[in-house]
Amino acid sequence: MINNHKENLRKIYSKIFGLNLTESELEKAWEVAKSKRITPMGDRTNIAVSPLMAYELIQVAVGRTTEGIKDKRFKKVREEIIPAVDFALFLKKMGQGEHFIISRDSPDITLLKLEKNQREKIKEYRKIPALPLEVTFIKENTLEDIAGSNINEKIANAIISGKFDKKYEPQTVLLVVLDLESDFNIHLISNSLANHPHNYHDIFIHSQIGETKLSTARIYPSVDIQVYTEEEMKPLLY
């Protein structure tokens, strides 16, 4: 039974991070999982990682390939895990505490809010605040067949057609990651979404500006745009 649970853990690391654990790495991960677990281990075992741990695991996994982060095994990493890490750091920057990342299927991510004083006595806490996070990743070529007279309408229609018919818990946040070369307007995208019903608590757009700047903008229920540099975020890693 224990060996089955270990193999489940190995599969989790492979599925989420594209990382094939060595036997020694699996043993270490198993011991950590046992000491920090908050629910019984079984077929649905999952792991919660901090942004720093996620980055370290990604670096190890990418270092074992010849194609780097563009390797197809890292699709989940590129389109869900890294955006979730960025969003967790953004929440900390905005004074919302420190969150650990759990990869799921529906929605894509759960962010567990765990402050430093909770982590060593995690089993004592019966209820841990959780934020469901659905992530959608939009690239330039995916907009080619989307209706719209301009880039802002195309982005809005991609969000509406791809995510607005989904039903999640009322507190779910939608994080739209834009990987585009074209310029777009946050306010116009927000306006285009205004009359379309959905059940998300908040909607954010996350994108890169130039070589070093990032933007995370709330576009629902109100517009609030935050721009910052990657260097500003590094000290926030935990």
Q: Which residues pair with 173 in a beta bridge?
A: 133, 202
pLDDT of residue 224: 98
* Whole-angstrom distance, CA of residue 67 vs CA of residue 46: 27
Residue with tokens 């070529």: 141
Average pLDDT over residues 88-115: 94
Q: Which of 148, 163, 146, 147 is nearest to 219 (CA)?
A: 163
Contact call for residues 83 and 177 (beta carbons, < 8 A) = yes
Q: How does the average pLDDT of the chain come out, rounded?
A: 91
Residue with tokens 């980055």: 55
**Extents of the domains making up the chain:** 69-236
Torsion of CA 159, 161, 163, 167, to 10 degrees: 150
Cβ count within 10 A of residue 122: 15
Q: What is the pLDDT of residues 12-61, one digit of tens each?
A: 999 999 999 999 999 999 998 877 665 545 555 689 999 999 999 999 99
pLDDT at 1: 42
CA–CA dist 95, 93 (Å, integer): 5
pLDDT at residue 212 in the model: 87
**How does pLDDT run across 193-237, given as a tens digit for each residue?**
999 999 999 999 999 998 889 999 999 999 999 999 999 999 999
Residue 135's closest CA among 161, 156, 104, 114?
Answer: 104
Three-state DSSP state, 146: coil
